Amino acid sequence: MKINKKAALHNLGCKVNAYETEAMQQILENAGYEIVPFTEYADVYVVNTCSVTNMADRKSRQMLHKAKKMNPDAIVVGAGCYVQTKEAEALLDDTVDIVIGNNKKHELLSMLEAYENDHGKCGNVIDINHEKQEYEEMFLERTAEHTRAFIKVQDGCNQFCSYCIIPYTRGRVRSRRPEDVEEEVKILAEEGYKEIVLTGIHLTSYGIDFKDEGIDFLTLIKRLHAIDGIERIRFGSLEPRVITETFAEELSKLPKICPHFHLSLQSGCDDTLKRMNRHYTCEECAERCAILRKYFENPAITTDVIVGFPGETDADFETTREFLEKVHFYEMHVFPYSRRAGTRADRMPDQVPEPVKKERSAVLLKLEKKMSGEYRESFLGTEQEILLEEPVTIDGEVCMTGYTKEYVKAAVRLDGRDPKMLKNTFVRGTLKEFLTEEIMLLS
Ligand code: F3S
């Protein structure tokens, strides 16, 4: 069914938000809308907003205003975390016609219909913090990425880290029924997807609401592992505490699990971790990394680090730097601490000046470059398999690139083959040399 209307969507924020943007896009497509890029003229614009920092709020507002500028007669929908926390502000904003909070995005179509019938501004934002929420079922039949599908399996967070607003934007932990995840993954596998990445707001909490039924994260993983066509399973961010001997041992028996683990460490200094309200010590984190290295051969362990958290002294930072070097992470996402009004960290004394944060970021990025290089080098001469994703021109020659299970990027020469035919296929070979700092040659 075609309805002769165009819709454009824009996502801000995390992978979970991106999943929901794609799900909203499919709701609109199935209703007959033609989806156009966000930079083009459309009848409906949907901005799935983020509120993780003050800056994210500002960007969300900017995108909403940009949409209205492109077509003043368009219906502009503000969805997600920014409008969840700033509902009143969004409702007062002339550029926003419909406000949809979290856990209500599946109602996009009925909200659009209601708006068109009454032509009055409308909002649907629930008190996500005080009402118990069920998991909001949204469904993907395909994704924008062609080889790797991100699957949302969990929502909400009960952790209340002192710098984070997300528990207030997303509410408490709720998990997606394993049979619903299975159904989605089966459809994606039939569509040809070979790799899935399980994501959530606090993935480690998966299943805490299914305890009575004996369903936990491992149960879900095993069920997805059994699906034909899926060859690789990765995870989004995990808390170090989830890596127990049993968990790692069980995972290591599942050949589709990629030995690529992203542990959200945030700091390598216990005092800072305490102020962040993270519930582990550096020592514990190091132990968990050792467990991973016991059960997987040379696994990729990656992490997130916040630098310049309130009260972080030069000595604290040095402790973090030493710790990161000792554990030896493959990749680190380094974030200078960014304030978010309404969080405890925002009210803490001893905020670190921006130039100091910048300096500390630069130190860690340099360390990351060194550690990444060393990790990649450890694969030189080894036999690996990569899943081919996209063509890239290196030194004037078009090659096809992909990733090993450890997420090391490698390329194969085309030798007259059509890149389109190679896409989403596996190739095996030996990692021979570096074509660029980050891409190795597989032949
Ligand atoms: Fe942003 Fe909401 Fe994700 S605040 S990071 S979009 S959970």
80 C-alpha to ligand 1 centroid (Å):
8
Closest ligand 1 atom to residue 51 Cα is 4
Beta strands in 121-179 (DSSP E): 122-124, 148-155, 174-175
pLDDT in tens, 350-407: 999 999 999 999 999 999 999 999 999 999 999 999 999 999 999 999 999 999 999 9
In this structure, the residue with its CA closest to atom 7 of ligand 1 is: 166
Mutational test site, ligand 1, from 11, 166, 170, max ligand atoms within 8 Å of CB: 166
pLDDT at position 143, please? 85
pLDDT at position 312, please? 98
pLDDT at position 1, please? 64
Q: Is 222 helix (H, G, I), strand (E, B) or coil?
A: helix
Question: 146 pLDDT exceeds 80?
Answer: no
Name the band, by pLDDT with cuts 50, 70 and 90, for residue 13: very high
Q: Where are the alpha helices (DSSP H) in 192-334?
A: 217-225, 245-252, 270-275, 282-295, 314-327
**Among 141-155, 177-191, 419-433, which is the least confidently predicted range?**
141-155
171 C-alpha to ligand 1 centroid (Å):
12
Name the band, by pLDDT with cuts 50, 70 and 90, for residue 3: confident
423 C-alpha to ligand 1 centroid (Å):
31
Question: 145 pLDDT exceeds 80?
Answer: no
Q: Is 180 helix (H, G, I), strand (E, B) or coil?
A: helix
Mutational test site, ligand 1, from 53, 63, 81, max ligand atoms within 8 Å of CB: 81
pLDDT in tens, 27-74: 999 999 999 999 999 999 999 999 999 999 999 999 999 999 999 999
Tokens of 314: 């030069």
Question: 265 pLDDT exceeds 70?
Answer: yes
254 C-alpha to ligand 1 centroid (Å):
31
- The DSSP secondary-structure symbol of 257 reads B
Using left for φ > 0, alpha for ψ between -120 and 50, and beta otherwise, residue 256 falls in alpha
Mean pLDDT, to the nearest integer, of 127-134?
A: 82
pLDDT at position 63, please? 98
Mutational test site, ligand 1, from 12, 14, 59, 304, max ligand atoms within 8 Å of CB: 14
pLDDT at position 108, please? 97
Q: Is 194 helix (H, G, I), strand (E, B) or coil?
A: coil
116 C-alpha to ligand 1 centroid (Å):
29
On average, the pLDDT of the chain sits at 96
> H or E element: which one contains 10?
strand 6-11
Residues with CB under 6 A from ligand 1: 13-14, 16-17, 50-52, 56, 80-81, 166, 169-170, 201
How many CB atoms are closer than 10 A to CB 300? 24
Q: Is 134 helix (H, G, I), strand (E, B) or coil?
A: coil
Distances (CA, A) of 23 to 29, 82, 329: 10, 19, 33
Percentage of the chain modeled with pLDDT above 70:
100
Question: 248 pLDDT exceeds 90?
Answer: yes
CA distance 340 to 347: 10
pLDDT at position 118, please? 83
pLDDT at position 231, please? 98
How many CB atoms are closer than 10 A to CB 27? 20
Cα angle 232, 234, 240; round to 5:
150
Instruction: State how beta strands 397-403 and 383-394 pair.
Output: antiparallel
Mean pLDDT, to the nearest integer, of 339-347?
A: 96
Distances (CA, A) of 303 to 199, 261, 306: 15, 8, 10
Name the band, by pLDDT with cuts 50, 70 and 90, for residue 132: confident
Name the band, by pLDDT with cuts 50, 70 and 90, for residue 183: very high
pLDDT at position 128, please? 82
Q: Give pairs for 369-374: CB < 8 Å, separation 24+.
A: 371/324, 371/325, 371/328, 371/329, 371/330, 371/332, 372/330, 372/331, 372/438, 373/437, 374/328
Question: 298 pLDDT exceeds 90?
Answer: yes
Closest ligand 1 atom to residue 82 Cα is 4
Question: pTM of the entire structure?
Answer: 0.95
49 C-alpha to ligand 1 centroid (Å):
8
CB contact at 8 A, 201 and 156: yes
1 C-alpha to ligand 1 centroid (Å):
33
Which one has a higher pLDDT value, 121 or 271? 271
pLDDT at position 126, please? 85
**Among 127-141, 159-173, 309-323, which is the least confidently predicted range?**
127-141
In this structure, the residue with its CA closest to atom 3 of ligand 1 is: 14
pLDDT in tens, 85-110: 999 999 999 999 999 999 999 999 99
